[in-house]
């Protein structure tokens, strides 16, 4: 079995945000005409945490790859 090649810079994640959603339900994000293609804000982050106290009535996502050495045992929860 060969390893997959991950696209992106090691140690960096992408945080994307869609602002001014009419409600705090996930369905409002999915209904936004710009989701998932064009976010209002996109920035590089260096840990799996979105900016704190950013905004109300917004939806966001964090994208990136995890690379785990084959010799390690890892549990995700």
What is the spatial distance between Cα 55 and Cα 9, in angstroms, rounded to a whole number? Answer: 27
| Local confidence band at 2 (pLDDT 50, 70, 90 cut-offs) | low
Partners of 17 in beta bridges:
41, 60
**pLDDT digits 0-9 by tens, 54-66:** 888 899 999 988 7
What is the spatial distance between Cα 62 and Cα 50, in angstroms, rounded to a whole number? Answer: 7
8-33 CB burial, b ≥16 within 10 A, e <16: eeeeebebbbbeebeeeeeebbeebe
**pLDDT digits 0-9 by tens, 27-71:** 999 999 999 999 999 999 998 888 888 888 899 999 988 777 889
């Amino acid at each position: 079995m060969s390893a997959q090649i991950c696209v992106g810079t090691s140690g960096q994640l992408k945080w994307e945000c869609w602002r001014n959603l009419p409600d705090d339900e996930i369905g409002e994000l999915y209904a936004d005409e710009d989701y998932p293609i064009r976010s209002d804000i996109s920035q590089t982050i260096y840990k799996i945490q979105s900016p704190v106290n950013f905004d109300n009535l917004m939806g966001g996502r964090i994208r990136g790859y995890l690379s785990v050495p084959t010799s390690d045992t890892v549990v995700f929860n």
